[in-house]
Chains A and B, each alone.
Chain A
Amino acid sequence: MHPFSYVAPKTIDEAVAVLEKNGTRARPFAGGTDLLVQARANKWDLDTVVDIKKIPETMSLEVSQEGLTIGSGVPCYQVYNNEQIKKEYPGIVDGALIIGGIQIQSRATIGGNLCNAAPSGDSICPLIVYNAVAHISGPSGSREVAVEDFCTGPGSTVLQNGELLVKIVVPKPNAGSGTAYQRFTPRNEMDIAVAGVAVSVQLNNNGDDFESVRIALAAVGPTPILANKAGSSLSGKPINDDSISEAASLAKEEASPISDMRGTIEQRKHLIEIITTRMIKEAVKRARG
């Protein structure tokens, strides 16, 4: 591994100061499951690794009346083993459970998955449909960015020099809502999505109409995609096969995949239509309880 120095600041201010001073030659280090692989491949001219896991704010995992707070240093297993999160945020658990295998989940973080900004990142689409917000600290203070706006391309994000993702806040879902995420992979575990879909539905009081729906697509574009047309097509519609298949076909149109070793354009678009249909139905099922 190319030599780098290691620092483990105890406060956000210290971490930001090191990141700002070293610019692109410093990287925040949470689970390391992407960072150390990329460091070995010399993806960056890495000078300093900033371990963020000694900072209390990045290690917080809280479920409150306002919502769910996931510190950027919290590993996946802590998220999916939390009984309250399983019950109230099943879509987040759907994603956290399928990132890598058990060893990876001991270390890999949701925050790192977001900052790595892979179009296939399994935790990103669930965050998007839950309307999650990224809380960022930097040299000029703190700011908040909706997760749907966080990724700007494969491996690139809105983070500027010296900025650190501190936590992700997921608003508490309303009654009558349900969320689900699924991906297609040839292997059940230890694989990267060929295509994935997260759906969040808000049903009306009777539970027979869609009030609002959010749909996000993984691995079918340069970033995870919020499929606005597909989601909004369901507003006020009755829950039936016609409305669901119309939304799924719009999601297929909104997908703009490439062909690569994992799948072709045609296969990925087909998968998006199928998985969107299934996830809308699953989200409705969860909304009805």
Chain B
Amino acid sequence: MTTNTTNIHIRTKINGQSYEFLAPSYMSLLDALREIVGLTGTKEGCLDGNCGACTVNMDGRIVDSCLVLAAEMNGSEIETIEGMATSDGLHPLQKTFLEEAALQCGICTPGFLVAAKGLLDNEPKPTERRIRHWLAGNLCRCTGYDKIVKAVQKAASDN
């Protein structure tokens, strides 16, 4: 039996901009961003929801984009790492990540930044414990996490 796959017609907003495209019915949100829309800031890591490298914000909640289907983007609003810096400059979290040296190889960084933004947007003054809990779904093999947590704390202290 041949699978009757279809292209799904998608209308979505990514970083505030409207997009309309066709995506295969079995394509992930991650692949749609990278391969159709051309936004490659969102990284592929484990493809099973452990590492958080592919974290994006979907309708106000952070999700692993490898575990969402592109078909589900229709009618939704997505925010990716590319939406964090504005014409005025870097997002405060991006600045504190640089100041605190909260990255080395950088592969996990877009996921951490989008995840951390998801926290600070809703909880401007989280405790260290809360930050560590919130970021448990993001793995970093370089920094040992302390610098990342400090960078988030520093961004939060400016809130």
Report A's interface with B, CB cutoff 8 A: 1-6, 8, 25, 29, 31-33, 36-37, 39-40, 47-49, 51, 53, 77, 100-104, 106-107, 187-190
Contacts and interface: CB of A to CB of B under 8 A. Distances in A.
Given A47-B1, A189-B137, 12 more contacts: A3-B24, A25-B1, A32-B68, A33-B64, A53-B72, A102-B136, A103-B49, A103-B63, A104-B67, A106-B61, A106-B63, A107-B68
Contact of B47 (A31, A40, A106, A187): A40
A104 B24 contact: no
A268 to B, nearest CB: 23
B5 A5 contact: yes
Interface string B42-54: 0000011110100
Contacts of A2: 3, 26
Interface residues of B, number: 35
A39 B68 CA distance: 12
B134 interface: yes
A72 B66 CA distance: 21
A1 B136 contact: no
Contacts of B109: none
Contacts, number: 99
A5 B133 contact: no
A5 B7 CA distance: 9
A3 B68 contact: no
B17 to A, nearest CB: 23
Contacts of A47: 1, 3
Interface string B90-131: 000000000000000000000000010010000000000000
Nearest to B1: A47
A89 B68 CA distance: 29
B137 A100 contact: yes
Contacts of A33: 49, 64, 67
8 contacts: A1-B27, A3-B24, A37-B49, A49-B25, A51-B69, A77-B61, A101-B136, A102-B137
Nearest to A4: B26
A36 B5 contact: no
B137 A190 contact: yes
B6 interface: yes
B28 interface: yes
Contact of A1 (B8, B28, B49, B63): B28
